[in-house]
A and B are shown apart, each in its own frame.
Chain A
Amino acid sequence: MLSPSILVAAIVNGLLTGALYALVALGLTLIYGVLHIINFAHGALLTAAMFAAYFAYRWFGIDPYLAAVVLAPAFFVIGYALQRFIVGPTSHGDDRNMLLVTLGLAVVIENALLFVFRADTRTIDLSYALSGVDLGFAFLPLPRLIGFGVTFVVAFALWLILSATDIGHAIRAVAKEKLGAELVGIDVAHVYAVTFGLGTACVGIAACLLIPSYYVNPSAGNAFVLVAFTVVVLGGMGSVLGALIGGLAIGVVESFSSLFLGESLGQIGIFVLFIVVLLVRPNGLFGAQA
């Protein structure tokens, strides 16, 4: 019943989906690695970015892949401002408060989108959305191939920023030893905000890659972010490489569990894996610190 070609197709499809999970997870893991909090507003920001990409196409006819060039810096600024002017000052330096504030922001953003755009589900039709590469046993749609490639470009760019720029060095210093970084004159509030901005920029790009092949409604981002939490935990919180590998792995797990268990139970496979990893190895497969 299960021919090898179906399994290979499941793996390939899983890897393509997994790359998008990885991109969303990159932003989360970066923020966690430096601020040591889970950004619960990540999903709502992803939804907001998907709406932005949708309307850029609908109103101005801007191709989503082109929109990414604008949305990435725009969402960097949004993320920077959110952390600098809301999350940072609001939380009084308490991690638990920071969690709650990001949760509050998520509720506000998601429901503001619901209020403005209602619960309607929207999609766009790109002329090339249905073209792709036929491998015989599996058909690879072009949008998802592009998404796969861009994820690696973004991951590489992030790695370059972190390892070769001054702000990257500052980010890593703050992540390792916040007090020490502060003592040598690093503006920690600024570094936090830049990190939050970079994480949010990832979401801006991810939205542009998602919109050609997915739909958008006010809760569209949540599905991806719940998965991204899993990716981040699996890959080790704060690890860029971990997020990349974790994302691909989760994509394959989901693809397999929906192959064997059906679509709705496919998600359960992810959460069970998530809980097991958290309980057995909370540092993740690649994480260094607790």
Chain B
Amino acid sequence: MKELAPVFAVVIAMAAVPLLGVSNVTLNFLVVALIAALAGQGWNVLGGYGGQYSFGHAAFFGTGAYVTAVLQVRYGVNAWIAFALGIGGGALVGAVVGGLTFRSGLRGSYFALVTLAFAEVLRISASVAPITGGGVGTLVKLDLHVVALQFQSRAVFYWMILALVAVALIVTRLIERSRFGVWLIAVRENEDAAMALGVNTTAVKLAAMVISGAITAAAGCFYVQYFLFIDSGLAYGTWISIEALLTPIIGGVGTVFGPLLGALVVRGLGEGARMVTGGEAPGLDLVVYGCVLVLIIWFAPRGLIGAFTQLRSRVMGSAGIVETSRG
């Protein structure tokens, strides 16, 4: 339990925020940032710990969103069950995509490309298939009851996404401390060496992709319950894939809290850019994101958390500070 203490501390502190009487606008900002954080936490398992940089995590986000929405709207499935099946759908997509790509030994640029292509195939399919509502999208009926997984109060939604983020944080932390986590990091650092030492690298990567897909899909499931609408661009758009990798890389790739920190920073910067320009500047927030991404890789390749640990060890004058992630 001791290793989970930081996770509980952060989550409990964040859970107290709605009790401070913050406005609905602030809560909405936090909910959206936490959705991005959750999607990024999924990416971080595979990309941060496993070194497999996916450029198509929208495939999982969108599948989670569509499964949740379509099951409720077309088949009258209970929202809670639909939500769970949405997460399962993301895991399944992870298993299929991972099974195909890792078996073929695709790495690096090739892996990035093939994940991107899968997300695009799903996006185009969703934009024409009748079951997803095609170009019109799918609207979930407003029904503010706990049974329908919809809440009158923003605070309850906030606690719900926070709980999902907390589960993802715990899963990440447990992976980090497990034998599986060590294998995964070995694959990231030197896949051939890991293989030579007897690690079944294909199985390790596949397992990471399934977990990763399930977590990012959960973000999509929540998105639908919160906004009650989904279409192919919102679900499978390139921007979803970019943001899923942006948050962990800015926060600290391969660290437990990286995606959460990154999401708050990125969304905060975007909000700031919008406030400065009065919302009359399409694209400016994304210009800021892109610049931050390049600058982080340039000056702090281990993200904000990495930069902070480095700074701390320099201040304390010792090189022996334990690094939890990238060694």
By the criterion CB–CB under 8 Å, are A111 and B104 in contact? Answer: no
Asked whether, in the complex, the Cβ of B121 is within 8 Å of the Cβ of A272, the reply is yes
Known contacts A265-B124, A278-B110, A282-B110: does B297 contact A218 (CB below 8 Å)?
no
Contact B117 A100 (CB under 8 A): no
Given the interface contacts A96-B51, A100-B245, A264-B127, does A90 sit within 8 Å of B117 by beta carbon? no
| Number of residues on chain A facing chain B (CB within 8 A) | 50
> Is A258 positioned at the interface, with any CB of B under 8 Å from its CB?
no
Contact A90 B112 (CB under 8 A): no
Chain B, residue nearest A91 (CB)? B297
Shortest CB-to-CB span from B178 to chain A, Å, is 24
Residue of A nearest to B134 (CB): A264
**B139 in contact (CB, < 8 A):** no
Q: How far apart are the CA atoms of A95 and B191 in the complex, in Å?
A: 15
Contact (A265, B128) CB under 8 Å given A96-B53, A118-B282, A278-B104: yes
Chain A residues, Cβ within 8 Å of B51: 96
A278 lies within 8 A of B284 (CB): no
Does A115 contact B297, Cβ atoms closer than 8 Å? Answer: no
**Interface 1/0s, chain A 33-58, versus B by CB < 8 A?**
00011101000000000000000000
Tell me if B106 is interfacial: C-beta within 8 Å of chain A: yes
Q: Tell me whether B117 and A275 are in contact (CB under 8 A).
A: yes
| Chain A binder among B62-70, B156-164, B285-293 | B285-293
With contact pairs A37-B109, A218-B283, A264-B128 given, residues A97 and B289 touching in the complex (Cβ less than 8 Å) = no
> Please, how many angstroms separate the alpha-carbon atoms of A66 and B281 in the complex?
34
Q: Bound complex: CA of A235 vs CA of B34, how far in Å?
A: 42
Q: What is the interface residue range for chain B against chain A?
A: 35 or more
B249 at the interface (CB under 8 A from A): yes
Q: Is the CB of A95 within 8 A of B100?
A: no
Cα–Cα, bound, A112→B291 (Å) = 11
Answer yes or no: B133 CB below 8 A from chain A CBs: no
Q: Looking across the interface, which residue of chain A has its beta carbon closest to that of B114? A: A278
Which chain A residues border B293 with CB–CB below 8 Å? 100-101, 103-104, 107
Closest to B294 in A: A104
Interface of chain B, main secondary structure: helix
Q: Which residues of B contact A222 (CB under 8 A)?
A: 238
Asked if A145 is at the interface of the complex by the 8 Å CB criterion, the answer is no
Assess whether A267 is interfacial by the CB under 8 Å rule: yes
Say yes or no for A271: interface residue by CB 8 A criterion: yes
User: Are A282 and B105 also in contact (CB < 8 A) when A99-B112, A264-B127 are?
Assistant: yes
Q: Min CB distance, A106 to chain B, in Å?
A: 8
For the complex, give the distance between the alpha carbons of A66 and B53 in Å: 41
Determine if A115 and B106 form an interchain contact, defined as CB atoms under 8 angstroms apart. no
**Selected contact of B290 from candidates A108, A118, A268, A278, CB within 8 Å:** A108
B113 contacts the other chain (CB 8 A): yes
A108 near B124: Cβ-Cβ < 8 Å = no
> Are A264 and B121 interface neighbours, CB within 8 A?
no
The one of B104, B127, B238, B287 in contact with A115, judged by C-beta atoms closer than 8 angstroms, is: B287
Least CB distance from B222 to A in Å reads: 25
A146 within 8 A of B: no
- Report chain A residues within 8 Å CB of B297: 90-91, 97, 100-101, 104
A196 interface contact, C-beta 8 A: no
Measured in the bound complex, the distance between the Cα atoms of B116 and A222 in whole Å is: 13
Chain A residue contacts of B281, Cβ below 8 A: 115
User: Are B104 and A92 touching (Cβ within 8 A)?
Assistant: no
By the criterion CB–CB under 8 Å, are A115 and B284 in contact? yes
Is A233 close to B, CB under 8 A? yes
Give chain A interface residues in 191-232, CB to chain B under 8 Å.
218, 222, 226, 229-230
Shortest Cβ distance from B41 into chain A, in angstroms?
18
Name the B residues within 8 Å of A237 (CB-CB).
Answer: 109
The complex places the Cα of A272 from the Cα of B117 at a distance, in Å, of: 8
Complex interface: chain B residues within 8 A of A105 (CB): 290, 294
Nearest CB on B from A243, distance (A): 15
- Per the 8 Å Cβ criterion, residues 232-290 of A in contact with B are 233, 237, 264-265, 267-268, 271-272, 274-275, 278-280, 282
Which residue of chain A lies nearest to B281 when distances are taken between CB atoms in the complex? A115
A111 near B284: Cβ-Cβ < 8 Å: yes
Q: Can you list, as one digit per residue, whether each of B228-246 has a CB less than 8 Å from chain A (1) or not (0)?
A: 0000000000100010010
| In the assembled complex, A86 has its CB within 8 A of some CB on chain B | yes
Offer 5 A-B interface pairs, CB within 8 angstroms, sorted by A. Answer: A96-B53, A97-B301, A100-B293, A101-B297, A108-B294
* 7 interchain residue pairs of minimum CB distance: A114-B283, A107-B290, A111-B283, A108-B290, A104-B293, A111-B286, A115-B283
What is the interface of chain B, defined by CB distance below 8 A to chain A? 51, 53, 55, 100-101, 104-106, 108-110, 112-114, 116-118, 120-121, 124-125, 127-128, 238, 242, 245, 249, 281-284, 286-287, 289-291, 293-294, 297-298, 301
A100-B249, A233-B113 are known contacts; what are 14 more A-B pairs with Cβ within 8 Å? Answer: A37-B109, A96-B53, A99-B53, A99-B112, A100-B297, A101-B298, A103-B293, A104-B291, A110-B286, A267-B120, A271-B121, A271-B124, A275-B121, A279-B104
